[in-house]
Amino acid sequence: MNENANKSIQCSVTSCRHHCQSADYCSLSAIKVGTHETDPSQKQCTDCQSFSLKNGCC
């Protein structure tokens, strides 16, 4: 569990190893946001590229 909430980065992705589990914040000091689309037009087109699956093997 990571308790170092960065109040500048709100996040509800609790399956990410960087999520501050006790509140909806990221624990990293900075993140990278990107896209998987060639011409992003909606918020669904954007991704947190700092995401890392909690308890993941890879």
- Applying CB under 6 A, among 1, 4, 7, 18 the residue interacting with ligand SF4 is 18
- Indicate whether 23 belongs to the interface with ligand SF4 (CB under 6 A): no
Helices (H) and strands (E) counted in the chain, each on its own, are 0, 5
Of 25-54, binders to ligand SF4 (CB under 6 A) are 26, 28, 31, 48, 50-51
Q: Are strands 25-26 and 6-10 parallel, antiparallel or unpaired?
A: antiparallel
- Applying CB under 6 A, among 3, 4, 8, 13 the residue interacting with ligand SF4 is 13
- Indicate whether 21 belongs to the interface with ligand SF4 (CB under 6 A): no
Q: Which residues pair with 25 in a beta bridge?
A: 10, 20
